[in-house]
Structures are given as C-alpha cells and as structure tokens.
Amino acid sequence: MSATHVWVLSGVVGLVLGVSGPGLADDAPAAPLSTWGYNDTGQLGTGNVGTDALSPTAVDHSGALAGKTASAISAGGQHTCAVVEGQAYCWGYNLDGTLGDGTTTDQPTPAAVDTSGVLNGRTVTDISAGGSHTCVIADGAAFCWGNNDSGEVGNGTSGNDVLSPAAVSLPSPVTDISAGRHYSCAVAAGTAYCWGLNLYSTLGDGTSTPRNAPVPVTAGGTLAGKTVTEVAAGYDHTCVLADGAPFCWGFNGDGQLGDGSKVTSAAVRPVDMTALAGKALTGLTAGDSYNCVIADGGLYCWGNNIYGQLGDGSQTVRDAPTAVTGITGSVTQVSAGAFHTCAVITGAAYCWGSNAEGELGDGAAPTWSTSPVAVSRTGPLQGATVVGIAAGAWHSAALIATPPAAPRDASAVAGDASARITWAPPVADGGSPVTGFMVRATPGGASCSTTGELTCSVAGLANGVPHTFAVVALNAFGQSRSISTAPVTPTGSTPAIVARTQSPRDAKGSPPKALKAKGLTVLTGRNARTNAGQLIATKVTVKTSSKVRAYRIIRGSKGKVAIRTYGKRLKVTLVHSAPATGDYLPYTKRTVYRVRP
C-alpha cells in the first residue's frame, strides 16, 4: 500500500468511453488527477520539468489520458503512476526504466506502461511506485519493472534494470502490493511475501540476504496461522495488517516498528495496541521511517517525526501509535511519504510534515506543519471531492471523484417491436458507487433503466427498422460516456411474405367460387421467401370423385403450378408453408378450390 520515497496507492476513481446516444449527455471528467510539490524530473505530469508547484495543478490530460479517468494513483521517489481504464500509466524519472515504457527517457506527461509483453490482455487494478521501481496487480497476479540492483523487480534476476513489466511468481490471488525504497512486498493468498534488498531483515525471512524472487514472511513465527490483508514497505522496515492487527519488522532506530522500543528486529513484532484497542484498522501505509493506519475513521502514526510527519502537533519520535490531532471528519485514505503525510478527510485533501518543495500543497512552502493543513482548494481541487491521495518523496498527488466509467460489452437481441440489452459493469465507479444504468434507442429515443441490474428491455420499437442502443452508468457525480450496441432489427412474431402468392382470379379479378373442368392455374412466384429468408414451399393435393376420369399437375417455370382436370367434382388444396427460424414462427397459408362441371 505504501512505500518509501514513494509511497502509496490509494483511491479509486471513475472512467469513461463510448458513443453518446440521443438525450444522453457525456459528462467528461475534468482533470481527475492533480499533483503538487517537487518537479525535477517531470513527476507532476504537467508537461514541464523543473517548475515546482506549491498548490495543486492538473496532470496533463491532452495526450495519453485524454477523455479518461484514473482509478488508483501512487507517488514514488521521483515518479508518479496511475491506473487508468485498467491500464498503467507513469511519468517522471525513468533512468532505471522506472516508468515501464521500454525506454530510459524521463517523461513529463503520462506515458503508457508497455502492454506488448506480460501485461497484454490483462486488467491492472492496483499500482505502487517505489524508490525507482514500480509494481502492479493485474488479474490477480503481480508484475514489476525498473531498478533491479537488489532484485526488487522479483523476476529471479538482479543487477540489470528491467524496462518493461516482468511477472513475479506468487500464489494466486495477489490482493495487495507495495514497492519500497529498494525492495517490494505483496499479499498473496493471505500470506505476506517480500523480495529485493534485505538490510535489517527487511524481507521478514530472518536473514539479511537479498532475494531476487519472493520469500514468505516467516521470521519469529508471529504470523503463523494469521491472514494477512495489507502490507506496507518503507525504507528499511515493513509492516502488515494480519487478523486486523498491525505487525512490523526491520530497522527500528526511530520507533517505526511501533512495539514501544527502538530495538531493530529481524523477527516480526506486534505493534503496541494501547491506542488502537477495539478499533477497526485499514489503510496501513509506510513512509521512510514511520507508519500510519486508519482506525475507525481516525488516524494514528508512529516512528520518525523530525518534520512533524506524525501529525500529533510535535516533532517527538513515537515508538507506539499516536493519534493525529486536529482531524474533524472521517479519514478514508492515507499515504506516508519520505517526510510528509497526506490523507483524505471527508472528501478533502490534507497534508502535514515537511514542506521543503511544496509537498503539502497549501502554498506556504517551505514552512512545514506538525498537524494537518488543508491542501489548497483552488485550481483543479476547487469544488471537487477527493477520493484518493498519494505522498511521494517530495511531491503529492490526488484523485478527484468523477462520473463512472462507461459500461462494457453492450449487446442487444431483437424481439417483436422490442429489444433486450445486456452489458457488463464499468471497470471503475468514479469514486462513488454506481446507482443505475440507462439505455436509449436510436432511432426513436425509446428507453429503459435499471438500479443495478445489467439488462433491461426497450419496447415501442418500429419493426423492420435497424436500431442501436446507447448504455450509460450513473453515480452521484453524473453519468458516464456511453457505449453503443451493434444494430439489431426488431420484427413481428409472424413473418411477412416478400414474394406474394397469387390465387386464381376470374375475368373480373375476383377469386372464383367454382372452376370448370378445363382446369385451374395457381401462381406462387419463383423462389418466394419470407422476410426471415425462408423459402416458401408450395404443396398441391387433389381429391377426385369417382366420376373424374383423369387429372395432372404441371409445375412450370417462374413458379407456375397448373392443374388440368378431366371429369367432374375435383377438390384442390393449395398450401404455402415455411419453417420457423430464429424469432419467427412458422408460416402456413391454406386455400381450397372446388372444380365442378
């Protein structure tokens, strides 16, 4: 969840795509990614390098992110990454292949992570930016890239940088991932695993041997039988949440293990629960040498406090969790950076600690703060609801709530003057739960809606006319862009005849009541078909009286059927028929004629 010189992941925000239907306005997100602070390598993503931002500025959305919205964000040492529509994008420092785009060129605007290899066809759901490497979760598996001096990429090698994503071998599913300064950790199938640099037994295997592939955290046996749900990799210490309680190991010179001491430990140590007893814990995050965790909507931190990054109003090092002061509202996200911390409190961004490069976003750099200060709500944060936050080494980033992503995989099946439309849910909800879906037809504008179901039927359509259907998702912040179905054509339940059948007519053009023995001729039209495309068969039967001497049926070209009679009292039955197909019922037309002398 967090790391050092880089920490965090957090926040989930909406997405967007498709084609708008009549009466369905497309609510395009307004710059849902915002950054502030240090910008020496373009980590703010604004398109320039070297210009710091003391208050929030919008990440460039004119290029790779045009019309798109992120669902997760993470700030690293000198780079920033986001999950956008199921894909990873990064920007900033790239000398070590940190951005995963296959190059070593710094990028001042978002660049797509390479999907030509192991990420091809996969959906990225989480991302963590480390010191100079990056890791993601995609389809329940882990992938990393970037600096690999100590094996922090986890692909079984070390020494050479990895410029594109590499698979990390872990049990399935991987549910949490955190990139630290020179190592990485993940939660897989309820167990914590780590790999990379192993100073102070940071990897939790009880040794100081670097590992270029994941090893389970087993030191001390403290986690045996427990289910790990979250992991946070710092500079040279690591923490997890297991069975709802925090545990840490590694370097402890600043009390970052939270066990009431400053004794470094290779074994996993339980964090002092005095202040946390009885509280539900989430959102564990690790900075350079301190940690924070959300507890029942409040916030507690421990460890190094040289710049007031613990937020307790002091600069006193704490070796056990201490409440962050001055919070009014509920904390939903938190991220620990190198020496500053940021949180989302009731939909607004707050930061505290070091402000040397403007990383607090309050416009007051270089003045630091020992308690939370509101990030400036001008520019991209004006009037916005913040749903995600990320604290890097000396910069920060936020996600803004938006309408949801467009629904996916929409299709329609035609019926009689109607159609049933089905779709898959959006990949991101925009930071607010999806409350329903709306479907509208073109042409005509007929519609249907649901409060969560992924199918509905549109009635009142014109039969025989092709229709497409635009589907949008709704949340508290608006509606997504639409996705359209392929055209379908509603039809009646009984097919119409394209090539008409023709019965006998007398001299006045009316069907005769009786025909003389000379005979009877019926025209069906050659290769007559229904509008479902089925060939119409013509069957003629003749019933005679005993006085009829003879008759014969002549089937001529162009669909002509002629009956020549010799005698009296001839009964002719003519049946046109076609079988059922698709949504069409079978067609049958039966006509009886009597021939008298």
Residues 531-557 have pLDDT tens digits of 556 666 666 666 655 444 444 444 444
- 76 has a pLDDT exceeding 80: yes
The pTM assigned to this predicted structure is 0.78
Structure tokens at 233: 């990799």
Q: Nearest to residue 241, comparing CAs of 192, 298, 173?
A: 192
Q: How big, in percent rounded to 5, are the helix, strand and coil portions of the chain?
A: 0, 45, 55
* 3 state DSSP class of 2: coil
pLDDT band at 15 (very low <50, low <70, confident <90, very high): very low
Structure tokens at 115: 């999907």
Q: How far apart are CA 41 and CA 393, in angstroms?
A: 13
Most confident of 2-6, 23-27, 389-393, 497-501: 389-393
pLDDT band at 443 (very low <50, low <70, confident <90, very high): very high
Q: Are residues 112 and 226 in the same domain?
A: yes
Q: Are residues 393 and 412 in the same domain?
A: no
Single residue among 374, 400, 426 that ends a domain in this structure? 400
Q: Are residues 569 and 461 in the same domain?
A: no
Q: Are residues 532 and 440 in the same domain?
A: no
Q: Are residues 394 and 431 in the same domain?
A: no
Q: Are residues 414 and 393 in the same domain?
A: no
**Left if phi > 0, otherwise alpha if psi is -120 to 50, otherwise beta: which for 543?**
beta
Q: How far apart are CA 121 and CA 124, in angstroms?
A: 10
Domain contains 430: yes
Q: Are residues 419 and 539 in the same domain?
A: no
Classify each residue of 3-30 as buried b or exposed e, where b means 16 or more C-beta atoms within 10 Å of its C-beta: bbbbbbbbbbbbbbbbebbeebebbbbe
If one counts the domains in the chain, the total is: 3
Cα-based torsion angle of the residue sequence 218, 339, 113, 9 in order, rounded to the nearest 10 degrees: 60
Q: Are residues 234 and 178 in the same domain?
A: yes
Query: The tokens 């329903």 sit on which residue?
Result: 436
pLDDT band at 348 (very low <50, low <70, confident <90, very high): very high
Q: How far apart are CA 195 and CA 173, in angstroms?
A: 18
* pLDDT tens track for 154-193: 999 999 999 999 999 999 999 999 999 999 999 999 999 9
Instruction: Give the domain range for residue 144.
Output: 33-284+387-400
Residue 543's pLDDT is 63
- 273 has a pLDDT exceeding 50: yes
Single residue among 368, 400, 432 that ends a domain in this structure? 400
Q: Are residues 586 and 569 in the same domain?
A: yes
Q: Are residues 96 and 200 in the same domain?
A: yes
CATH of the domain at 439: 2.60.40.10
Q: Are residues 530 and 574 in the same domain?
A: yes
Q: Are residues 162 and 225 in the same domain?
A: yes
- 442 has a pLDDT exceeding 60: yes
Phi, psi of 506 (to 5 degrees): -90, -170
Rounded (5°) CA angle 251-3-350: 115
Region 567-575: mean pLDDT is 61
Single residue among 400, 422, 452 that ends a domain in this structure? 400
Region 43-48: mean pLDDT is 97
Q: Nearest to residue 381, comparing CAs of 344, 329, 330?
A: 344
